Structure 1
Amino acid sequence: MFRRPRGGEVKRPQSPPMCSSIWSKSSREFSYPLRGQVGPKNSSFIYGNVKEIEDDPLVTRKWRDEIGPTFLFKGVFNTRQLYTADPIAIDHMLKADSIYQKGITKHDILFRLGGPGLLGVEGEDHKRQRRVMNPAFGTAQIRGLTGIFVDKSVELRDIWVNMIRGHTAPQHIDVYSWLSKMTLDVIAQSGFGTPFKTLNPKARPNPVYQALERLFRAPNGGRESLFHRIVQSFPILLYLPVPARKHIEDTRRQLFVAGSKLLADSKAAINAAGGPKSASGGRDLFSLLLRANMSPDIPDHHRMSEAEVIAQIPTFFIAGHATTSAAIAFALHALSMNKPGLPYLESVIRETLRLYAPVSHVPRLAIADDVLPLRTPCVDRNGKVHTSLPVPRGQRVRIAISDLNTDTSLWGPDAGEFRPERWEKIPEALHQIPGVWGNMLTFLAGPHNCIGFRFSLAEQKVLLFVLIRAFEFDGAVPSDDIGRRSTPLQVPFVHSARQKGSQLPLLVRAYEG
């Protein structure tokens, strides 16, 4: 009953803002369709389970084995995220890319590094850029770059030969550092027709290499990755003078300075060679992309803007350099403990990319309500079995690449072991895994599969072939002292020397077989 105050006006009581907020939160909690799903214990209100994952990327495999391939975990500030290593669920999401998008904003690390490039756009923009870029990454074009892969592999081999020459004992070499230099030289030469000469110790240090090294090899790389996840929720932190922000800004500046110059030089070279339709001119990936984009045959609304073209350059450097160097480093680490011969080369590469996927997971954001089909049913807190899950709009999902690649229900009980011979006859169950290559998820699938997977595979095959013929590798530290961390790429480090950042020390000697 309301009492009419003097003056004749009825004043209804107002609910305090706090009560309204509590009611709103309770209402959302009650209506949240996944609230009954189980997951690992929340270890921190601020970091959720994310800090555990950044410190040890393999912890999600433990949760997968204990809970199942699909569960809820806590993101920063107690946000609920859906994790899945279920092949049917993942196949559905990768095909339904109009619903499950990357959800990248201008505050995300990929967008801040690359801008509106292929990794940072969605929908029609992604299709338009991909349409222009696809011809540059075809089989014939990649085959034409093999000579560069061979030359740089031989250059690295000769450097290591000189390092071990005159020594009777195997020499301690941080192979990850050298591989990082080599793969950057490869992407600079084959991607842009520009010699970086990073492998040459007498050459002036390359600023792009230095910036990428600070980003991917910093001792606190995992913490910086965590910082950037928090920034997604609180962009104001970008204005704080913290090292994580400075590393990103330095890297972005160096990449875009180099990118602007490369764009100007490539345009001038194309015009000097007779224009985009001329058969002469550079055969590097960027020149091919630029000629396709400048072609009079392409409609104006299909062209990339100058900003979009420049944005592909950081994408080339990051995706074409850091992922391959990490993959080869882990391959040599695996070979230091398991010594198959050259006939196993193809199987060694497949097994390395399965067991040590450079990108452990990819995030997705549901922009509409959906129902997610499951291969393995979920059992909620009340014992109810779910063969599918309702996914509400706004739900963040983590597609677990590495954990699907090591699922024992698909690969067998030895899924966590390095066994190249498994590729002689693969299990029938692997055909359920979506993927653009090799019955694994490493290069993703669907419209957003890795456009450069042929480039990466060709480079890895050449490099491993050259190195395995020349050297034998043994561990320089106990095998369990070698770990991996997300920066956000999976890179190797030594537990007992974490302060040195990313590295992979091996004992290297000349092959005497």
Structure 2
Amino acid sequence: MLGTIAQAVALSGVLWFLWKYCKQAVLTSPLDNIPGPPRDSFLYGNLKQILHRHAWPVYDALTEAYPGVLRLAGPLGHRILYVFDPVALHSIIVKDQYVFEESRFFIKTSEVTLGPGLLATLGDHHRKQRKLLNPVFSIAHMRHMLPTFYDISHKLQQSIEGRVSGRSGPVEVDILSWMGRVALELIGQSGLGYSFDPLVADSADELGLAVKSFQPLMMQLNIFRRILPYFPDVASPWLRRKIVEMIPNKNVQQLKKNVDLMHERAVAICEEKKRLLAQGDEAFKDKVGEGKDLMSILLRANMAASDEDKLPDEEIVGQVSTFIVAAMDTTSNALSMTFSLLAEHPEVQGKLRKEIMEASNGGLEDIDYDTLVSLPYLDAVCRETLRIHPPITSVFRETRKDAVLPLSQPITGVDGSQVSEILVPKDTTVIVGIYSSNRNKAIWGEDAFEWKPERWLDGLPDTVADAKIPGVYSNLMTFLGGGRACIGFKFSQLEMKVVLCLMLLKFKFEPSGKQIKWNIAGIRFPSVGDSTKPSLPLKLSMYKE
């Protein structure tokens, strides 16, 4: 019986998917006049090119060949608009953000895997959640969290020192694993008032491993993710679960196992928090975070909110899962990329270490908040890494109605005409080219593809300010902008700076000599050679003046 139902649901989903896309093939569109690369095939369009895990040369070529906007071919004749023109981005991200809404496949996938948290909601629902969450990420709270950040990062420093100190030469360390573990513990203690990992054992616990494998599994399930919105909802959650259990795909089953584990931990954290809140502030006295973590603050705010602003329990639980995944992978991978670049550029590593040594009185003191956030070279290294290697390469939007997209400068259409604005039909998939915007030579100069922290000290070109890029951070699209900008970008910045300071005070970083490849996924991740297992080995030795 269940097998028959599963087949019927699968068939209906495929039919909806085919109808949705095949109708595009027989219709003309204003997008037909927008230049773009030839498609590989009618079945896949350009998707195999841009979704390939090592498609960086493809994105570089598109960024150089087109002036901010181009048409890509989707599957079965579907048209996709790829955009990195700053004026067009402002319309998509800010001015008409509720017309260019988050893609259905992303919303559905987030809801199924993380629950009804911030990533899985739209419109008024999303604004309601964000209204309650915004004060939680204030600078005042960041200041309060700094001692916790230092405590955890010192534990990281000590654990790695125990594995490196006393050796005759550099020791190979999987820096990605350690950055994932410290990021999880930072969001755990500072964000959730919960300790996931004491950073003592040689590997992360099962939750850390589950979260770290989340993006690689999602990468393997790209086709499932894009079909998911066209499957009708089965009435019973129990039946939906049974259908998922019957899908004969090891990646689906592993993802289900990981999602179940994250949900169980999220529920346990929320229930414990509510129990302590009911007992009063004294109950938090000996607890992690002492009741001043982000989740405790959120729960108190939710209890005090009006009925119309209050979030139901399932949405609070969804925020926990969302915090864990979003805060762990993006920041840990950005930190890993930074250490990799510092290993490849020893002169930058040395200059940065000198600045940190001076600010910390030779490593004897933790750097205070105001000094830490204003260290010029540390800030430049972080900004430049996040510019040229954003953890999220692109995001997908879909037009909920016909829209007009203005451009910063006219482009030449396929028919030879000058196009200064584009009519974008309803249900068009639009890719926001974060990677391309951050590397646009018309804005950042001819050296835009180069990692040069000094550019942030020498004065950026006037074209950067003139472009009015709608990102929430440093003229970059890395953390997006508008109503769906990354709510925790200040948290991420503080985390990166604390960890970089403490690690560089103790260790010298060198390349391992192994071939490292960065993989395109929801959040980019490194692996060795042709493996898809997340890993970034570097050689570490104790720093000696």
Give the TM-score category using the shorter length.
0.7 to 0.9
Partner of residue 467, structure 1: 503
Partner of residue 83, structure 1: 82
Partner of residue 150, structure 2: 150
1:304 alignment partner, one of 303, 311, 322:
311
Match of 2:213, SS state, is: helix
**Residue 513 of structure 2 corresponds to residue 506 of structure 1:** no
Partner of residue 374, structure 1: 407
The structure carrying a bigger helix percent of its residues is: 2
Deviation at 1:472, TM superposition (A): 1.4
Aligned equivalents of 2:408, 2:194: Cα separation in 1: 48
Deviation at 1:199, TM superposition (A): 2.1
Once the two structures are superposed, residues 241-264 of structure 1 have per-residue CA deviations (whole angstroms, 9 ceiling, x without a partner) of: 212322332222112111111111
**Residue 260 of structure 2 corresponds to residue 228 of structure 1:** no
Aligned equivalents of 1:142, 1:159: Cα separation in 2: 25
Structure 1 residues not aligned, in runs of 5+: 1-20
Partner of residue 33, structure 1: 30
**Residue 257 of structure 2 corresponds to residue 250 of structure 1:** yes
Alignment RMSD (CA, Å): 2.5
Aligned equivalents of 2:460, 2:195: Cα separation in 1: 41
The equivalences for 1:254-265 within 5 A come to: 254-265=261-272
1:423 alignment partner, one of 427, 434, 456:
456
> Is the CA contact 1:76–1:230 (under 8 Å) kept in the aligned structure 2?
no
Q: Scaled by the length of structure 2, what TM-score is found?
A: 0.83
Once the two structures are superposed, residues 472-506 of structure 1 have per-residue CA deviations (whole angstroms, 9 ceiling, x without a partner) of: 1111126xx33221331111223x2x225121111
Q: Say if 1:327 and 1:106 are closer, same or farther in 2 by CA, change over 3 A.
A: closer
> Is the CA contact 2:24–2:78 (under 8 Å) kept in the aligned structure 1?
no
Q: Say if 1:78 and 1:502 are closer, same or farther in 2 by CA, change over 3 A.
A: farther
Aligned equivalents of 2:201, 2:282: Cα separation in 1: 37
Deviation at 1:179, TM superposition (A): 0.8
1:443 alignment partner, one of 479, 486, 490:
479
The equivalences for 1:5-84 within 5 A come to: 25=23, 29-30=27-28, 32-54=29-51, 55-58=53-56, 59-84=58-83
Structure with higher Rg: it is 1
2:291 alignment partner, one of 267, 279, 282:
282
The residue identity in structure 2 corresponding to 1:428 is D
Q: Say if 1:43 and 1:231 are closer, same or farther in 2 by CA, change over 3 A.
A: farther
Q: Say if 1:197 and 1:80 are closer, same or farther in 2 by CA, change over 3 A.
A: same
**Residue 435 of structure 2 corresponds to residue 395 of structure 1:** no
Match of 1:199, SS state, is: coil
Partner of residue 458, structure 1: 494
Deviation at 1:173, TM superposition (A): 1.2
Q: Say if 1:475 and 1:274 are closer, same or farther in 2 by CA, change over 3 A.
A: closer
Partner of residue 114, structure 1: 114
Match of 2:395, SS state, is: strand
**Residue 210 of structure 2 corresponds to residue 176 of structure 1:** no
Farther-moved stretch of structure 1 (328-337 vs 222-231): 222-231
Aligned equivalents of 1:281, 1:169: Cα separation in 2: 42
2:383 alignment partner, one of 334, 337, 350:
350
Match of 1:433, SS state, is: coil
Partner of residue 136, structure 1: 136
**Residue 320 of structure 2 corresponds to residue 313 of structure 1:** yes
Partner of residue 338, structure 2: 331
Once the two structures are superposed, residues 199-247 of structure 1 have per-residue CA deviations (whole angstroms, 9 ceiling, x without a partner) of: 22189x63322321332356xx633334423444567996622123223
Q: Say if 1:369 and 1:466 are closer, same or farther in 2 by CA, change over 3 A.
A: same
Q: Scaled by the length of structure 1, what TM-score is found?
A: 0.88
Aligned equivalents of 2:299, 2:47: Cα separation in 1: 40
Match of 1:34, SS state, is: helix
Once the two structures are superposed, residues 349-384 of structure 1 have per-residue CA deviations (whole angstroms, 9 ceiling, x without a partner) of: 111111111111111111011110112433222122
Aligned equivalents of 2:166, 2:216: Cα separation in 1: 31
> Is the CA contact 2:105–2:228 (under 8 Å) kept in the aligned structure 1?
no
Farther-moved stretch of structure 1 (191-200 vs 221-230): 221-230
Partner of residue 363, structure 2: none
Aligned equivalents of 1:122, 1:241: Cα separation in 2: 32
1:360 alignment partner, one of 381, 393, 400:
393
The residue identity in structure 2 corresponding to 1:511 is Y
> Is the CA contact 2:171–2:539 (under 8 Å) kept in the aligned structure 1?
yes
> Is the CA contact 2:31–2:79 (under 8 Å) kept in the aligned structure 1?
no
The residue identity in structure 2 corresponding to 1:317 is I
Q: Say if 1:211 and 1:227 are closer, same or farther in 2 by CA, change over 3 A.
A: same
Aligned equivalents of 1:377, 1:469: Cα separation in 2: 50
> Is the CA contact 1:50–1:226 (under 8 Å) kept in the aligned structure 2?
no
Deviation at 1:281, TM superposition (A): 5.8
> Is the CA contact 2:70–2:83 (under 8 Å) kept in the aligned structure 1?
yes
Match of 2:30, SS state, is: coil
The residue identity in structure 1 corresponding to 2:295 is F
How many residues are aligned here? 479
1:492 alignment partner, one of 521, 526, 537:
526
The equivalences for 1:191-230 within 5 A come to: 191-197=191-197, 199-201=199-201, 206-217=205-216, 222-230=219-227
Aligned equivalents of 2:312, 2:520: Cα separation in 1: 32
Aligned equivalents of 1:210, 1:198: Cα separation in 2: 15
Structure 2 residues not aligned, in runs of 5+: 1-18, 234-242, 356-376
Once the two structures are superposed, residues 27-55 of structure 1 have per-residue CA deviations (whole angstroms, 9 ceiling, x without a partner) of: 9523x121222222222444332222232
Deviation at 1:26, TM superposition (A): 8.4
Match of 2:436, SS state, is: helix
The residue identity in structure 1 corresponding to 2:517 is G
The residue identity in structure 2 corresponding to 1:355 is I
Aligned equivalents of 1:413, 1:122: Cα separation in 2: 38
> Is the CA contact 1:69–1:376 (under 8 Å) kept in the aligned structure 2?
no
